[in-house]
Amino acid sequence: MAECFDAFLYLANWRTRQLMIRLPRGSLDLGTAQRYCDTESASAWVAGDRVVIDLTDEDEEGEWNWDDDGEGRLASIIPARADLAGGDLRLLYLAWLLAVGRHEVDDDEPEPPVPPGLGTLTAPLQSLVEFLRIDTDLLAVAAETSASLSRAEPAEVRRWLRGLPTDEKDQLLLRVLRDGDVPVRAELRRRFRAAKPDRDPAGAAPGGRTAGQLRKAAGARWAERQRQAQQRQAEERARQEREAAAARERRLTELATQPEQAWQRVDALIATKKPREYDAAVGLLTELAALGQRDGREEAFAGRIRLLRQAHQRKLMDRFDRAGLPGE
């Protein structure tokens, strides 16, 4: 990273994940980077004329996904590097959140400037959040004070470009021919952001909360999500129970039209001497018991069960007992 590469991604089956991104110092000020990245999990350092952002997540809990070999991970994240070079500080703020979630930032530590657009992350930034396992509740709380991401109107950009000296435009075009359009585009984005009046160069608003407040709010949000999930589960169980009760009532109503045929069916199932048919017979008897209880004929049912026990004691005793059918 110090000499050759602009990006590095590493993951191991002991759940270590690391991402490093290198940018020219002209694209990212070291002081700005270290304002967000000054912990063990998120750090920034200089290598020659480059600034390196180093992000590491050491999560010892949970299970390893053996199907995740890292293929495609870096490709999905790397476009965020160009956005950072263009002055989009959301990647740096996410790096700070990573450290907050790992409890490497003191409770009373104030948050750094909050960039706009935290509530509408790009796909590369979403991939970064997923890869580094950044707490999504923490991110949602942080995004509450993040302004909407403003898009510059084409007319505004054209007016700004017309104001650039002709010689400077020629130099920019020469750089495009020589170096490609990516570094020039990033520089123009930074300069356009800086030229907007009454705004921080990166469009970030001063942070007004502490790391402890963010963690507490994220914990409360998690607890509320759990409560809502439990409520939904309880409502779903109640719905399923209502549907099961209604279905059973329909079966009992149908059974009540021909109860003797049901008893004959029980005898036929037992006569097969097959374990699976025994289970079917016990299931039918259970419904006959419910019918007897519903219609006030429990004693008549119990008497017929006793006869079945006497006739098939060795084969059915255990099954009858497990099903809670009447005994002697």
78-108 tens-digit pLDDT = 999 988 987 889 999 999 999 999 999 999 9
Looking at the structure, tell me whether residues 212 and 265 fall in a common domain. Answer: no
Domain end (from 206, 226, 246): 226
With a CB cutoff of 8 Å and minimum separation 6, the contacts of 28 are 51, 84, 85
Looking at the structure, tell me whether residues 310 and 216 fall in a common domain. Answer: no
Kindly tell me the sign of the dihedral angle through the C-alpha atoms of 103, 109, 115, 119: positive
Looking at the structure, tell me whether residues 222 and 173 fall in a common domain. Answer: yes
Looking at the structure, tell me whether residues 48 and 170 fall in a common domain. Answer: yes
Report the SS3 class of residue 3.
coil
Looking at the structure, tell me whether residues 54 and 179 fall in a common domain. Answer: yes
**pLDDT interval class at 33 (50, 70, 90):** very high
Residue 129 lies in a domain: yes
Looking at the structure, tell me whether residues 68 and 114 fall in a common domain. Answer: yes
Which tokens go with 277? 């048919």
Tens of pLDDT, residues 228-275:
999 999 999 999 999 998 998 888 888 888 888 888 888 898 888 888
Residue 93 lies in a domain: yes
0.75 exceeded by the pTM?
no
Instruction: Please count the structural domains in the chain.
Output: 2
pLDDT above 80 for 198: no
Q: Residues 41-60: what's their mean pLDDT?
A: 90
pLDDT (0 to 100) of residue 234: 95
In the predicted model, what is the mean pLDDT of the chain? 84
Looking at the structure, tell me whether residues 222 and 262 fall in a common domain. Answer: no
pLDDT (0 to 100) of residue 199: 43
pLDDT (0 to 100) of residue 195: 66
Report the SS3 class of residue 69.
coil
Domain end (from 202, 226, 250): 226
Give 189's strand partners: none
Residue 241 lies in a domain: no
Looking at the structure, tell me whether residues 46 and 141 fall in a common domain. Answer: yes
Q: Of 116-125, 195-204, 276-285, which has the strongest mean pLDDT?
A: 116-125
Give the count of beta carbons closer than 10 Å to the beta carbon of residue 297: 13
pLDDT (0 to 100) of residue 293: 83
Q: Residues 186-204: what's their mean pLDDT?
A: 58
Residue 233 lies in a domain: no
Residue 242 lies in a domain: no
**pLDDT interval class at 208 (50, 70, 90):** confident
Comparing 52 with 85, the larger pLDDT belongs to: 52
Report the SS3 class of residue 208.
coil
pLDDT above 70 for 150: no
Lowest mean pLDDT among 59-68, 219-228, 268-277: 59-68
Distances (CA, A) of 205 to 81, 141, 149, 202, 312: 21, 15, 12, 9, 82
Looking at the structure, tell me whether residues 213 and 271 fall in a common domain. Answer: no
Residue 197 lies in a domain: yes
Q: Please report which residue ranges of the chain form alpha helices under DSSP H.
A: 30-36, 73-77, 79-85, 90-101, 123-132, 136-142, 154-162, 166-179, 181-195, 211-257, 259-271, 275-294, 298-311, 313-323
Comparing 200 with 183, the larger pLDDT belongs to: 183
**pLDDT interval class at 206 (50, 70, 90):** low
pLDDT (0 to 100) of residue 283: 86
Tens of pLDDT, residues 265-275:
888 988 888 88
Residue 244 lies in a domain: no
Looking at the structure, tell me whether residues 155 and 50 fall in a common domain. Answer: yes
Comparing 180 with 162, the larger pLDDT belongs to: 162
Q: Output the DSSP codes for 114-147.
A: B-TTTTS--HHHHHHHHHHT--HHHHHHHGGGPP
pLDDT (0 to 100) of residue 87: 81
pLDDT above 60 for 197: no
Distances (CA, A) of 238 to 163, 232, 242, 246, 252: 67, 10, 6, 12, 21
Query: Which structural domain, as residue segments, surrounds residue 305?
Result: 258-323
pLDDT above 80 for 58: yes
Residue 62 lies in a domain: yes
pLDDT above 90 for 312: no
